[in-house]
Structure 1
Amino acid sequence: MRAAAVLLVLLALAGCGGAVQVEPPAPQGAAAAACTELAPLLPQTLDGVKRTASSPESPYVAVWGAGMMALRCGVGRPVRMAPTDRLQEINGVGWFADPDRSTLFTAVSDVVYVEVTIAAGHNAAEVLAELSGPIGKITSAKSG
């Protein structure tokens, strides 16, 4: 969870130019393979905002705008997620909405967790729907 908190702070402090600072995760095994497969499938524009560089560069991180939206693939299971929590299914992908952070969502699968931070002013449902396409491709291929 510390990484998610750091990510939120970095996104809030992100300026208008240059690479956005995002702490990359370090997935292993099947999760790393899934994240490597996901990277080229991610959209160049998300909710009308163009993709930008992150620092340090990582195949496990994608950022749109000046940190308005960020994706980290291969994060750990959300600490606040209980076994009895219901996931919101969007286009075949189960999403966990962090109850303490209204801007933090995690795609949950048997293979990999994908964390998405969405700044206020963006339609979270639309962003998650758009990201569910590529995430669903990698998670269904690996778990099926």
Structure 2
Amino acid sequence: MSLHRRPLRVLALPAALALLALAACSPGGSEARVDPPPAPPADVAKLCAALHEELPETVAGLARTGTDPESDLTAAWGGSAIVLRCGIAKPPQMLDPKQEGIHVNGVAWLLEKLPDGAGGGFRFTTGLRLAYTEVRVDKEHATDAGMLVGLSAAVAATVPEGVASY
């Protein structure tokens, strides 16, 4: 038996385990742990359920994945790379006139850069809609400018314009 083959066999198992570990950490088919917001009013929950049904199957090239716990108030793509929560309370940052915002497909979004200690990335929150919807995006996927296009279309189709009263 050749001595050169033996070390390769010994190294093959750790290499395979390392690849499996990397696959488990990469965005993809795994469920995302997403805490739904505290129970919103019934009319808001109904809007969020409609939004949940309208959300795209892919965002920024990432497939939609399940959330744990399952809820009509949450959605995720690429594991936890992009996470949506509908029915959140009005963020206090919306009262700050210096906050940055963008408009995509007729939907206004408050834009916040998250600190590196909180994982970095960005948080986008809808404004001037009857239900507040938050989308958190990790650093890696925050550079995709088209990421909000499909999400904005779904919000515009299901959550009417107005000022949420909760």
Question: 1:19/1:99 Cα in 2 relative to 1: closer, same or farther (>3 Å)?
Answer: closer
Question: 1:30/1:50 Cα in 2 relative to 1: closer, same or farther (>3 Å)?
Answer: same
- Greater CA deviation, 127-136 or 77-86? 77-86
2:33 paired with 1:21: yes
2:151 paired with 1:131: yes
The 1-side partners of 2:126 and 2:96 are apart by 15
2:94 to 81, 84, 102: 81
Question: TM-score w.r.t. structure 2 length?
Answer: 0.69
Please give the residue correspondences for 1:1-144 in structure 2 after superposition, counting only pairs within 5 Å: 15-16=25-26, 18-25=30-37, 26-82=39-95, 84=97, 85=99, 87-98=101-112, 100-101=114-115, 102-122=121-141, 123-140=143-160, 143=162
The 2-side partners of 1:36 and 1:137 are apart by 12
The 1-side partners of 2:53 and 2:84 are apart by 13
- Structure 2 residues without counterparts, runs of 5 or longer: 1-23, 116-120
Q: Is the 8 A contact 1:93 1:136 kept in 2?
A: yes
Helix, strand or coil at the partner of 1:125 = coil
Provide runs of 4+ in structure 1 moved above 6 Å. none
- Cα distance, 1:78 vs structure 2: 1.0
The 1-side partners of 2:45 and 2:125 are apart by 16
Helix, strand or coil at the partner of 1:121 = helix
